[in-house]
Structure 1
Amino acid sequence: MPPFLVFAAAAAGAVYGAKAIKREWRRINRELEAADRDAVDADKAVRPTLRRDPATGEWRPGGR
């Protein structure tokens, strides 16, 4: 019976460890995605929108 208890305890520990790793993985991904969204928003605020000049056909920085 004791080897079975050791095996059961090891299995329970492995399940708990896997859940803890999964929880941490998701937390880190949420932080990275939020930082990426902030970077994209900041980049859009800095770069002007390009508009096509109907007279020349060239692309020029224009209004938003």
Structure 2
Amino acid sequence: MPHILLSPLVKWSFAALGGAMVVQWVVTEVKRVNEELDARRARVRIRDQERRPTLRRDPVSGEFRL
């Protein structure tokens, strides 16, 4: 039974192709997760701004107070 030997160039090409596919998948997943997080942050930001107290400057002391 003959052994099928692949040249090192073919082996490195398969490794590079597999690595590129993994990198592309990771980049796609990172973008998808970041879009979901940005959408959730935008919703939370809007709700928080309505309930958050604002600081006002005290004219006598010049300090900011609630």
Give the structure-1-normalised TM-score.
Answer: 0.68
Tell me the matched-pair count: 58
Q: CA RMSD in A?
A: 2.5
Higher relative contact order (CA 8 A, sep 6+): 1
Q: Percent same amino acid at aligned positions? A: 31
Structure having the larger proportion of residues in strand: 1
Query: Structure 2, unaligned stretches of length 5 or more?
Result: 1-5, 60-66
Q: Give TM-score, length-normalised by structure 2.
A: 0.66
- Show structure 1 runs of 5+ residues with no match: 52-56, 58-64
Q: How does 1:1-64 map to 2 (within 5 A)?
A: 2-47=7-52
